[in-house]
Amino acid sequence: MVDASGSMAASRRMEAVKGTVLSLLTDAYQRRDTVGVIAFRGIEAQVLLHPTSSVELAEQALRSLPTGGRTPLPHALQTAVVLLSKFDPKKDLQPLLVLLSDGKANVALPDGGDSWSQTLQLASHLKELRISSLVMNTENGYVQMGRAGELAKALGAQYVSLEELRAESLTPVVNNMI
């Protein structure tokens, strides 16, 4: 899942993150993994690519990922729950959720409520489903809220900060999770 919100600086940062993820996709192709892409911006999340073994389609979805706007993080996690609940761990490979975000949820689900509380509740639900997760924190700047770290804890996820977002440091982390 990719947080597609942000400013011009976030847009440049997202381009760097996309490059790192494209490197991970190359590794996924070599392992014959299945990859899907969920983007979230504006008022909802959108499945850009349903799980597929076509890394080319995943790369295309990632390259065309728009940026800017608000962050409907609860909807993104809800979409991930629906998508990942279709996997049968006895028959399918174990899914791995890779979440690229600063964790700043600011759009609640359509039924209303607090977006951050909803985010933590859905993250806890994914943890209960035993979905392996990795949170790649894209937050930078002088003032940082640390929400991505809190989100990683709620997910029971591995956590990687912006400074660590390089293919050579991420590949071993992801490989150890699979």
Q: Which amino acid is at 133?
A: S
Answer whether 0.85 is exceeded by the pTM: no
29's tokens = 């192709």
Residue 66 sits in a domain whose CATH number is 3.40.50.410
Are 80 and 40 in contact by the 8 Å Cβ rule? The answer is no
Most confident range (mean pLDDT) of 57-61, 109-113, 151-155 is 151-155
Q: How far apart are CA 7 and CA 173, in angstroms?
A: 28
Q: What does the pLDDT read at residue 149?
A: 92
Residue 155: pLDDT over 90: yes
The whole domain housing 65 covers: 2-177
Are 101 and 71 in contact by the 8 Å Cβ rule? The answer is yes
Residue 156's alpha-carbon distances to 47, 123, 130, 150, in angstroms, are 23, 8, 9, 10
Q: What is the 8-class DSSP label of residue 59?
A: H
Q: What is the 8-class DSSP label of residue 32?
A: T
**Burial class of residue 128 (count of CB atoms within 10 Å of its CB; 0-12, 13-18, 19+):** exposed
Q: What does the pLDDT read at residue 43?
A: 86
Mean pLDDT score, 95-119 = 89
Q: What does the pLDDT read at residue 154?
A: 97
72's tokens = 């409907």
User: Considering its fold, how many domains does the chain have in total?
Assistant: 1
